[in-house]
A and B are shown apart, each in its own frame.
Chain A
Amino acid sequence: GAGVSQSPSNKVTEKGKDVELRCDPISGHTALYWYRQRLGQGLEFLIYFQGNSAPDKSGLPSDRFSAERTGESVSTLTIQRTQQEDSAVYLCASSLAGDQPQHFGDGTRLSIL
């Protein structure tokens, strides 16, 4: 497709389980970002990948969160031992470069019971 694709669109899981969220960026976009949006709040930066450089992980809230990206393709965000406060919409975005406007996917709505 032409846009950023995220899957699943919705995920409901029990507290303590691990979840994996997937992002397919726009082809050719070297930069990829993950954000979290809690209810009624703005976008919270999590992690940024730029090409083959080491990712900027400064926004990850705890060591339960990790993300990977292979080259300039798909990225996965993994949350281990989920907690109720992890409930949020997780948004992925990509851009041609780190100083360009981002194209967002529609997000994954994560609900932790």
Chain B
Amino acid sequence: DQQVKQNSPSLSVQEGRISILNCDYTNSMFDYFLWYKKYPAEGPTFLISISSIKDKNEDGRFTVFLNKSAKHLSLHIVPSQPGDSAVYFCAASSSWGKFQFGAGTQVVVTP
């Protein structure tokens, strides 16, 4: 039962442009959401999070938007840089220590 879905397995974006990654979830009890970035042969690294009491959180070039009514969150990266090429996972939690991860979106930033 996949409760967190990233329907785009890959995304190609030009350097300097905006990358928009999407994530949908089905469990209305989820109240904490995170994005992770993963390079090959490395573990995921935490990027940014948002709790359900907010609809937006910014950290530098990264902004996460949460639409609770649509059960949808997105990650915006502006401007995209070559070092942003990686797999991005969204994750959601409704209880202490229990996180569900999406299948990931491979981002490729082209010159």
- Asked, given contacts A41-B103, A48-B98, A56-B98, whether A99 binds B93 with beta carbons under 8 Å apart, the answer is yes
Give the number of chain A interface residues (Cβ < 8 Å): 25
Interface residues on B, range: 20 to 34
B-binding residues in A (CB < 8 A): 4, 31, 33, 35, 40-45, 48, 50, 56, 91, 93, 97-99, 101-107
A-binding residues in B (CB < 8 A): 4, 6, 32, 34, 36, 41-46, 49, 89, 91, 93, 96-104
Can you name 19 A-B pairs with beta carbons within 8 Å? A33-B97, A42-B4, A42-B6, A42-B89, A42-B104, A43-B89, A45-B100, A45-B101, A48-B97, A50-B97, A91-B44, A99-B32, A99-B93, A101-B46, A101-B49, A102-B46, A103-B46, A104-B44, A106-B42
